[in-house]
Amino acid sequence: MSETCAVRLAGVWKWYRGTVVPAVRDLWLDVRAGELLAILGPSGCGKTTTLRLIAGLERPDTGAIEIGGRVVAGGGRFVPPEERGVGLVFQDYALFPHLTVEENIAFGLRGFARQERARRVQELLALTGLEAFRTRYPHQLSGGQQQRVAIARALAPHPAVLLLDEPFANLDAELRLRMREELRRLLRDVGVTVILVTHDRDEALALADRVAVMLEGTVVQVDTPERVYHEPRTREVARLLGQASFVPARVLGRLGRSDIGSFALEGAEEPTEQVELLLRPRDVVLERHPEGLGVVVDRRFVGAETIYRVLLRCGITVETSQPPSVELAIGERVEVRCNRARVAAFAGDERIGLAALLERLGRTRSADTEAPVAGGTDGAAAS
């Protein structure tokens, strides 16, 4: 992937008339050429406003926006949407109901010669698998087919950047999963830079090369899906990305102990006596043991796996996904350990570095000689 910057937002602020709180505040974001970047955040965080600012449908109050190294907004300059070289697919697709599939795709090619326009439409019909539907109208298409028409229309004039606003919001769950795979294949074949806005973490993690997490009008973390998920910068990011449990641990120097194992802190700038380790549901292994530090308090069978809730000695309840081979009863005592070599450690709200697990806690030693780490309320939190 090229490291050339396709889109850059530098210190962008945007207020809507009559509001005190900015929709976007001090936003800095670089999008690499050829990548698929997902902007992930809850409703009202400013992600759609960000997309509209890039498209030219909104003007920033301060800051600058560049596309392909050209300033399109800021410093007294404002390039209109049709001159920015971007394609935009709205949440409702915004197809023209009175035009056929091929006419919808051709709509953005009005400045092309007739022969070139026909060639480009045929190319996109083949690319999106819509050749058999070329003469149909939008109301005669399924939701997935309408989405492909909207994407083909946006791609028709060879945009430098494709902007997608919640593209799967109007699809049912089964079709949404299938369309994710189709969309990723299609966009890889085209090779266009893509910015996808979504509030669905599964979409962001499955589709994106990088994820930009947006909260309260600004981007708080940008990284690969794996790093954002397993190494979130704050607790709020951790919870947004999925089920999160925070297990307390006692630290002496750079070494510590918890109910899920011993560990070493890396990169902690200041010594601390209390940290918390982030656990995801699939980070945990449960083993039946009469002297284990956890007790099964609930179980739910969901088909491919069983969801267990385990109360640790420290007072935290961990939610964990286990394969069908693990069969535990409510009230059964278990040993709980992490199956990841490294987990994120937090002091307060901020991550302080990675915690590298050193060993499993000795069952007898832990039960007999270790005082329980002070805990709190239930640490499982669903976003």
- Distance, in Å, from the CA atom of 149 to the CA atom of 155, rounded to the nearest integer, reads 10
- Residues 6 or more apart in contact with residue 84 via CB below 8 angstroms: 55, 56, 67, 72
pLDDT at residue number 181: 82
pLDDT at residue number 30: 97
Query: DSSP string spanning 195-214?
Result: EEEES-HHHHHHH-SEEEEE
Per-residue pLDDT of 314-364, as tens digits, reads 999 999 999 988 999 999 999 998 988 888 999 888 888 777 877 543 333
Query: DSSP string spanning 111-163?
Result: TS-HHHHHHHHHHHHHHTT-GGGTT--GGGS-HHHHHHHHHHHHHTT--SEEE
pLDDT at residue number 381: 37
pLDDT at residue number 380: 39
At which residue do the structure tokens 């939701």 appear?
Answer: 143
Query: Are 281 and 336 a contacting pair, CB within 8 Å?
Result: no
- Residue spans of the chain under pLDDT 50: 1-2, 360-372, 374-383
pLDDT at residue number 271: 56
CATH fold, domain 242-369, is OB fold (Dihydrolipoamide Acetyltransferase, E2P) (2.40.50)
pLDDT at residue number 184: 83
pTM: 0.86
pLDDT at residue number 21: 95
pLDDT at residue number 101: 96
- What is the helix (H) or strand (E) element at residue 237, kind and residue range? helix 235-240
Query: Are 193 and 31 a contacting pair, CB within 8 Å?
Result: yes
Q: How many other CB atoms sit within 10 Å of the CB of residue 102?
A: 21
Q: Which CATH architecture has domain 5-235?
A: 3-Layer(aba) Sandwich (3.40)
What's phi and psi for 58, nearest 5 deg? -135, 150
pLDDT at residue number 3: 64
pLDDT at residue number 350: 86
Domain ranges of the chain: 5-235, 242-369
